[in-house]
Amino acid sequence: MDVRVGVDIGGTKIAACVVAADGTMLEQAQRETPAQDADLIASAVAEVVAELGGAARDRGDEVEAVGVACAGFIDIQGEMVVFAPNLAWRDEPLKARLEDVTGLPVVLENDANAAAWGEFRFGAGRNVEDMLLITLGTGVGGGIIVDGQLLRGAHGMGAEVGHLRVVPEGHRCGCGNKGCWEAYASGSALVREAQALVAGGSPHAGALADRCGGDPEALTGTMVTQVAHAGDPAATELLEDIGRWTGEGAASLAAVLDPGLIVIGGGVGAAGDLVLQPARSAFARQLTGRGHREITPVVLAELGNRAGMIGAADLAARRT
pLDDT at residue 175 greater than cutoff 90: no
| 320 confidence band (pLDDT: 50, 70, 90) | confident
Percent of the chain with pLDDT over 70: 100
Whether the pLDDT of residue 138 is over 80: the answer is yes
Q: How far apart are CA 202 and CA 213, in angstroms?
A: 15
Among the CATH numbers 3.40.50.1100, 3.30.420.40, 3.30.465.10, 3.40.50.720, which is that of 127-301? 3.30.420.40
Q: Where are the domains of the chain?
A: 2-121+305-319, 127-301
How far separated are the first and last CA of the chain, in Å rounded?
16
Quote the pTM value.
0.94
Give yes or no on whether 2-121+305-319 and 127-301 have one common fold.
yes
What confidence tier does 269 reach under pLDDT thresholds 50, 70, 90? Answer: confident
CA separation for the pair 94, 161 (Å, rounded): 24
pLDDT score at 87: 85
In this predicted model, what pLDDT tens digit does every residue of 275-295 receive, in sequence order?
Answer: 999 999 999 999 999 999 999
Burial 77-107 (b: 16+ CB within 10 A, else e): ebebbbebebbbbeebebbebbeebbebbbb
Query: What confidence score (pLDDT) does residue 68 get?
Result: 98
Give the pLDDT mean for 217-225: 96
pLDDT band (50, 70, 90) for residue 85 = confident
Architecture of the domain defined by 2-121+305-319: 2-Layer Sandwich (3.30)
Q: How confident is the model at residue 252 (pLDDT cuts 50, 70, 90)?
A: very high
